[in-house]
Amino acid sequence: MMKRVPKIVVGDPLDEMFFRLLRGKAFLVKAYELDQGEFAKLLKDADVVVVRSRRRLDRCTIDRAPRLKVIARAGVGLDNVDVDYAVKRGITLLSTGDASTEAVAELTIGLMIALARRITELDRKMKRGNWCKNSGAGVELRGKTLGIIGLGRIGSRVAELARVFGMRVVAYDPYVSREKAERLGVELKQRLEDLLRESDFVSIHAVLTEETEGMIGERELRLMKPTAYLVNTARGAIVDEEALVRALEGGWIAGAALDVYEREPPSSRLAGLENVILTPHVGASTVEAQKRIARVLAEKILVALENIGEMGESP
């Protein structure tokens, strides 16, 4: 008997390799530009839905997809998915593990260097005709302390790269063993406060959970050195953005670099500040990472569909 060809709805832009790998094996629908309502309508007869971090798969949206068997996240973290409800519905959850680690870690180091050497500020001044050589000094990474919040895959890679630059690395992560930290040459802190007080750069690599939401607020920002920089390439809601704006305006910290925001795109208040570098959630957006993500996801979806007996004949 001919089986039904599975329908895969792709809610956020993916590398074309994903479509090449699944061509002839599934009915693929791109839903990049649709608003959430139109997107949800398409899920009516979907077997698989693929999202990056923009689309929300809350209970209400999942309820619009009675046939749904697989939710595939092109990236890490499932904070935009109602995981409890999906599990209750028996839906398989997939993500792409290590595929974006290098891309996010390299962006983090790039942002740290850009802050330390004031690259974007000097670029802006030069383009306004200001040859500011005498006031353009920065600081070096070597010998400075980097405080990493969240020593998972990306945090660990950032630690390795930072150590190549001669930085001392400390980390706060209640779920990581002392042995793992030691292997990475990282000193594990029991208290976030200690990391914040000691660090010249603080970089966030935690997942967004109830525990980490708003973890960096006014109290934490005030514990940081006035010469310190904050980098966030993880999730915007881990930082209280209102408090961060006040910290940057008031000089509680020297500067920040953000790739992620409480709301995306972010409020214009951040854009008005000189001592902040903003990028549009492009941590995982390298050619290499997007191809890896496309390949890993296509392979995992095929395996998952085979396991649940949903792979049919070619359309």
- Residues classed as catalytic: 235, 264, 281
Q: Which stretch binds ligand MLT (CB under 6 A): 74-82, 129-137, 139-147, 184-192?
A: 74-82
- Pick from 19, 27, 64, 77: which binds ligand MLT (CB under 6 A)? 77
- Pick from 26, 48, 76, 188: which binds ligand MLT (CB under 6 A)? 76
- Pick from 11, 75, 150, 255: which binds ligand MLT (CB under 6 A)? 75
Q: Return the residues of window 171-200 that contact ligand MLT according to CB under 6 A.
A: none
CB of 153 to ligand MLT, least distance (A): 11
CB of 53 to ligand MLT, least distance (A): 3
The bridge status of strand 276-278 relative to strand 201-204 is: unpaired
Q: Which stretch binds ligand MLT (CB under 6 A): 69-77, 83-91, 144-152, 170-178?
A: 69-77
CB of 311 to ligand MLT, least distance (A): 27
**Applying CB under 6 A, what is the total number of residues that bind ligand MLT?**
9
216, two tokens: 């960096």
Site string for ligand MLT, 274-313 (x = CB under 6 A): -------x-xx-----------------------------
Site string for ligand MLT, 81-100 (x = CB under 6 A): -------------------x
Nearer residue to ligand MLT within complex by CB, 141 or 158: 158
Rounded distance between C-alpha atoms, residue 198 and residue 178, angstroms: 19
Nearest CA among 20, 80, 21 for reference residue 49: 80
Beta strands in the chain (DSSP E): 7-10, 27-30, 48-51, 70-73, 92-94, 145-149, 168-172, 187-188, 201-204, 229-232, 255-258, 276-278
Q: Can the peptide bond before residue 265 be classed as cis, meaning omega within 30 degrees of 0?
A: yes
CA distances from 155 to 149, 217, 224, 229, 302 (A): 7, 21, 19, 17, 30
- 173, 153 in Cβ contact below 8 A? no
Q: Which stretch binds ligand MLT (CB under 6 A): 42-50, 75-83, 157-165, 215-223?
A: 75-83
Rounded distance between C-alpha atoms, residue 150 and residue 96, angstroms: 18
Nearer residue to ligand MLT within complex by CB, 14 or 170: 14
- 222, 249 in Cβ contact below 8 A? no
Phi, psi of 298 (to 5 degrees): -60, -45
Nearer residue to ligand MLT within complex by CB, 241 or 259: 259
**Any idea which residue has 């085979």 for tokens?**
306
Nearer residue to ligand MLT within complex by CB, 247 or 296: 296
Nearer residue to ligand MLT within complex by CB, 169 or 293: 293
- 216, 240 in Cβ contact below 8 A? yes
CB of 224 to ligand MLT, least distance (A): 25
Nearest CA among 39, 44, 232, 22 for reference residue 244: 232
Q: Return the residues of window 15-54 that contact ligand MLT according to CB under 6 A.
A: 52-53
Nearer residue to ligand MLT within complex by CB, 167 or 238: 238
Q: Which stretch binds ligand MLT (CB under 6 A): 25-33, 70-78, 184-192, 303-311?
A: 70-78
Phi, psi of 136 (to 5 degrees): -105, 20
Contacting residues toward ligand MLT, per CB under 6 A: 52-53, 75-77, 100, 281, 283-284
